[in-house]
Amino acid sequence: MEKFEIIRTGAVPMPIENIDTDQIIPARFLKATSREGFGENLFRDWRYDSKGEPKQDFVLNNSRYRGQVLLAGKNFGCGSSREHAAWAIYDAGFRVVVSSYFADIFRGNALNNGLLPLQVTDEVLQRLFALVAADPQTEFVVNLPEQELCLPASGERIPFEIDPYKKECLIKGYDDIDFLVSQKEAITAYESTRAWTY
Amino acid sequence: MKKTLFDKIWEAHVVRSIAGGLDVFYIDRHLIHEVTSPQAFDELEARNLPLYNPAQIVATADHNVPTRNQHLPIQDQLSRFQVDKLTSNCEKYGVELFGLGHPNQGIVHVIGPELGITQPGMTIVCGDSHTSTHGAFGAIAFGIGTSQVAQVMATQCLLLSRPRKMRISVEGELRKGVTAKDLILYVIAKLGTGGATGYFVEYAGSAIRSLSMEGRMTVCNMSIEMGARGGMIAPDETTYTYLKGRPHAPQGERWEQALAYWSTLYTEEGAEFDAELHFDAADIAPMITYGTNPGMGIAINSTIPASVPASEAASFDKSLQYMGFVPGESLLGKEVNYVFIGSCTNSRIEDLRQVAEYVKGKQKAGHVEAIIVPGSKQVELQARQEGLDRLLADAGFELREPGCSACLAMNEDKIPAGAYCVSTSNRNFEGRQGPGSRTLLASPLVAAITAVEGKIVDITQYLN
């Protein structure tokens, strides 16, 4: 996993609620057996028409919006557990998704891939949408060590929560598997003392 | 402190707690399939890690398999490659595989229970969000991502924070024509598609207790559709009767010991939940969805909401535009061209029986294509043994071979763009059943009646 650095970037706004992982990456693109290349089909059916032509009204096809922050409506990533959704977003160049809440499985998948699910309040989210609508060049600084989303134009600093262990993993580029493998002794000890085994 | 069913099972699986509220959490059974496992096997390889214990994993091919001519090589090259990859990975690591052609093959959430692999008190994971299905047996079961699939393969554990607890109680008797599917669509419509995010749900109350195991599985299956991490129901006589004698269930003396343990798995009087909801079974009508998330459901004879709060208006309008509906209208009379009966939600023998019973001696409407995809080879076999295949064929329904099929349209079973499909599956997301497809989620009974009438009807008028 890549280390998560402080990011200074623009945002791509998608003010739609309940964006499910079938929209992020449709099932027909899940036939690959590697983790690479899913970015090409990110939001495939919103982004391209049935002939494969870019839909002009979709934000990813609008060159005014650029950046590593995806700004999305509440309950982002609901539905299928496909980690391909996190891979596709990351592969397309995003490092942060900002929403007012995330579906649980997507949140975990994002964190396991160096993609930061940054949760803000509904009120803040609406304000961020308004800022980006007014000025597509609006700059964001995502400072993970300080747990702040900063808006350089106004100097505003919006704090966010993250599990301390997950924060450290992101910053150092570690994932859970490294930690779990180090717990092997405790796991075998647990197995030998269980009251009921299957 | 009084404990809930969830507390008891969770606490029995904590290997150790680490700072920050995370638990090293032990997994008893790991189910895998062809779509979300290849990258996990690759990860083991890349890190040079052995598989912790192959005996705790069961594999099947379901998401990406054809539902016709399963004895022939898979036509789609990418699908074939993915299924072959599962086979070679299972051979290499010594994992039991119920692959295409195997008498136990089927949808992962159908075969686990029917083989007795799923048992009360277990922790069960799978790289599939509908793993919550297994909670019907009083297990903690939930979907995970592929990175976590690799973690369980490598260590039999996950690193988790304990979710909050919600209890949803449904009391009373369900009305005629109202099934487990209607019950859960009703609950999801009340909570909304994200209403239980962060929670693990226990379903309780007399209406839940009176459901069959198939019905309980349907309810727990859709827990994820309101955002819940999982759903569960305390085991009881219904559970034990279902499990007894199944191939992987405990036998003989071990069965008695298991019963003694399982009977301790219930929520104690006075145990606390972070959220409690109560519903009256009598309020539930046959349901159908009109929008593009499973929370957008209504009683079949009522109308689409005329308006929603301003903050939700853009998403609501987008959804209705996709579906070709307008706010405030009724769905009754809408012509339907496709009916899909299948998926891990409703493809079990009880579902097929219900459909066959209704369509017996009737004929589907000429303009409707009605397909039934059984959840497993066992379900298919049983349907044939009971003669359901004949009843269904006589009514113009096509009984296919098992798989996930048109629930997510990874194989060739797709609904054409713009067409309406009444589906017994679990998701009505845009394009879920094929690009541009329009899905209306409903029970097998509603699906059967729709196929015969060729349009959405008030099914309560069609029941004897």
* Full 3-state SS string of chain A: CCCCCCEEECEEEECCCCCEHHHHCCHHHCCCCCCCCHHHHCCHHHHECCCCCECCCCHHHCCCCCCCEEEECCCECECCCCCHHHHHHHHCCCCEEEECCECHHHHHHHHCCCCEEEECCHHHHHHHHHHHHHCCCCCEEEECCCCEEEECCCCEEEECCCCHHHHHHHHHCCCHHHHHHCCHHHHHHHHHHCCCCC
- Whether residue B375 contacts residue B347, with contact meaning beta carbons closer than 8 Å, is answered with yes
Residues of B in contact with A33 (CB under 8 A): 38-39, 42, 81-82, 85
Count how many pairs of residues, chain A against chain B, have C-beta atoms within 8 Å: 193
Q: Which two tokens stand for residue A170?
A: 């992101």
Closest-CA residue of A relative to B86 is A33
Pairing mode, strands A140-143 and A116-119: unpaired
Reading chain B (464 residues) residue by residue, the pLDDT tens digits are 999 999 999 999 999 999 888 999 999 999 999 999 999 999 999 999 999 999 999 999 999 999 999 999 999 999 999 999 999 999 999 999 999 999 999 999 999 999 999 999 999 999 999 999 999 999 999 999 999 999 999 999 999 999 999 999 999 999 999 999 999 999 999 999 999 999 999 999 999 999 999 999 999 999 999 999 999 999 999 999 999 999 999 999 999 999 999 999 999 999 999 999 999 999 999 999 999 999 999 999 999 999 999 888 999 999 999 999 999 999 999 999 999 999 999 999 999 999 999 999 999 999 999 999 999 999 999 999 999 999 999 999 999 999 999 999 999 999 999 999 999 999 999 999 999 999 999 999 999 999 999 999 999 999 97
Pick the closest to residue B200 from B142, B129, B282, B127 (CA basis). Answer: B142
Pairing of strands A11-14, A69-72: parallel
> What pLDDT shows up at residue B19?
80
- Does A18 reach chain B within 8 Å, measured CB to CB? yes
Are residues B15 and A190, on separate chains, in Cβ contact within 8 Å? yes
> What whole-number distance in Å separates Cα of residue B368 and Cα of residue B74?
27
d(CA A77, CA B181): 24
pLDDT recorded at residue B60: 98
Residues 62-81 of A with CB under 8 A from B: 73-75, 78-81
pLDDT of residue B167: 98
Residue A16 with chain B: CB contacts under 8 Å? 314-315, 318
Contact A196 B143 (CB under 8 A): no
Residue B136 near residue B233 (C-beta atoms within 8 A): yes
pLDDT value, residue B20: 81
Query: Given CB atoms, is A55 within the 8 Å cutoff of chain B?
Result: no
Residues 6+ apart with CB under 8 A from B288: B185, B297, B298, B300, B331, B422, B440, B441, B442, B446, B456
Burial (Cβ within 10 Å: 0-12, 13-18, ≥19) of residue A24: buried
Looking at B12-145, list the stretches that DSSP marks H as alpha helix, in order from N- to C-terminal side.
Answer: 38-47, 77-93, 108-114
Q: Is the pTM for the entire model greater than 0.90?
A: yes
Spatial contact of B295 and B188, defined as CB atoms under 8 Å apart? yes
Query: Which of B448, B351, B346, B463 shows the shortest CA–CA distance to B396?
Result: B448
Compute the distance between CA of residue B414 and CA of residue B405 in angstroms, rounded to an integer. 8
- Of B81, B137, B155, B437, which to mutate for an interface test with A (greatest number of A Cβ within 10 Å)? B155
Quote ipTM for the complex: 0.96
Name the stretches of chain A with pLDDT < 50. none
Helix (H) or strand (E) holding B164: strand B164-171
Identify the residue among A19, A44, A80, A194 best suited for mutation to test binding to B, counting B beta carbons within 10 A and taking the highest. Answer: A80
Contact B315 A86 (CB under 8 A): no
Q: How many angstroms separate the first and last alpha carbons of chain A?
A: 34
User: What is the pLDDT, as a whole number, of residue B464?
Assistant: 76
Contact (CB<8Å) B148/A75: no
